[in-house]
Homo-oligomer: A and B are copies of this chain.
């Protein structure tokens, strides 16, 4: 709908072959709608009504959602968790390959993931958008369809927001509100010496997916006759365009009676998040390259791109997996937990923060410049 519709259809048809619920519910992203409704025909209040119509309230605690000065939540004596994120077109997303519906989904995921990273339950979100008249009403509707899909999947209520015009592209600001019992909350500054460092799922795929999309976009820009070729890249592209937050892993940990000693979600790359935990907890760490979980599809894509898969995991980001620490005494519990990798351990602060390569070199952990380091290290 926005640009270059010929470019996107093949991308979507490929998705069809790799999707499962709720991904399979995402319709073709650039179907050839006959009509385009101008935003100006609705006005701001019309637009808000339009958005409010699609909202379904799931929690009795959402006493008041959209439609007053503020939303009202009955938090029943639990602690309230609040997290907020801003996404800017051209900085955080590129609509030439990120379908706007997926963007709506992903924006919610990024926010509920922060609540999960506190070991809390996300219950409410507010969604504010500023957009230029380049966007039609249908495009906004698709964005909110993605938001609603994520709300359904993660069982959160959309309780408010703001709409505004912008001179340059789309800006999204989401605030997620969650609850937790005081004794359940896990902070990022409470890792202790000898704790095991663990991570859910696999890392680096979202970054590899982004780089594949980038590459195909450039090829298409240079020669619009060449259609993008995503065969073999389905997994990394799905991880980039439609990530999931790991609520399921919190459930599994609860079942296993395993409470992390510290936790953070991986939005900026493994290296950056490990550094957050260590610096805030005033401890050191060792991470082992060979233990960092990277999917075979990510290795394949990284290889095609001339990137190190480990660098994708360390510096890539947008994985939305959970990085956490557990007491050494919980080794058996965490070992038995499906979908969790133990990637290192916490040391005393004076021992520093290190990454040990497969070749055996110990490299100080940094947030950037991994390509150079790894070449040097191996």
The answer to whether B77 touches A81, judged by C-beta atoms less than 8 angstroms apart, is: no
Question: Contact string, A151-186, partner B, CB cutoff 8 A, digits 1/0?
Answer: 000000001111111111101010111101010010
Evaluate whether A68 and B128 lie within 8 angstroms (CB atoms) in the complex, with A86-B171, A166-B91 already known. Answer: no
Does A76 make an interface contact (CB < 8 A)? yes
Q: Tell me the residues in window 182-208 of chain A with beta carbons closer than 8 Å to chain B beta carbons.
A: 182, 185, 187-189
The answer to whether B162 touches A69, judged by C-beta atoms less than 8 angstroms apart, is: no
Closest to A67 in B: B280
B-side contacts of A129, CB under 8 Å: 86
The answer to whether A173 touches B86, judged by C-beta atoms less than 8 angstroms apart, is: yes
Closest to A176 in B: B70
B-side contacts of A118, CB under 8 Å: 68-70, 72
Closest to A267 in B: B69
B-side contacts of A73, CB under 8 Å: 79-82
Does A71 make an interface contact (CB < 8 A)? yes
The answer to whether A79 touches B85, judged by C-beta atoms less than 8 angstroms apart, is: no
Q: How far is the CA of A190 from the CA of B4 in the complex (A)?
A: 49
A94 CB, min distance to chain B CBs, angstroms: 12
Q: How many copies does the complex hold?
A: 2
Count A interface residues, CB 8 Å.
Answer: 65
Question: Contact string, A117-131, partner B, CB cutoff 8 A, digits 1/0?
Answer: 110100010101110
The answer to whether B79 touches A74, judged by C-beta atoms less than 8 angstroms apart, is: yes
The answer to whether A160 touches B80, judged by C-beta atoms less than 8 angstroms apart, is: no
Pick from B70, B76, B83: contact of A114, CB under 8 Å: B70
Q: How far is the CA of A92 from the CA of B44 in the complex (A)?
A: 14
The answer to whether B88 touches A164, judged by C-beta atoms less than 8 angstroms apart, is: yes
Residue from A160, A161, A166 with most neighbouring chain B CB atoms (10 Å): A166
A255 CB, min distance to chain B CBs, angstroms: 22
Q: How far is the CA of A113 from the CA of B189 in the complex (A)?
A: 34
Does A265 make an interface contact (CB < 8 A)? yes
A221 CB, min distance to chain B CBs, angstroms: 18
A206 CB, min distance to chain B CBs, angstroms: 18
Question: Contact string, A289-320, partner B, CB cutoff 8 A, digits 1/0?
Answer: 00000000000000000000000000000000
30 A–B contact pairs at CB < 8 A? A64-B187, A68-B118, A69-B264, A70-B82, A70-B117, A70-B120, A70-B178, A72-B79, A72-B82, A72-B185, A73-B81, A74-B80, A75-B75, A75-B77, A77-B77, A82-B124, A82-B175, A82-B177, A84-B128, A84-B175, A86-B128, A86-B130, A86-B163, A88-B167, A89-B167, A91-B130, A91-B164, A91-B167, A92-B164, A130-B171
- Chain A residues engaging chain B, CB cutoff 8 angstroms: 63-64, 67-92, 113-115, 117-118, 120, 124, 126, 128-130, 159-169, 171, 173, 175-178, 180, 182, 185, 187-189, 264-265, 280
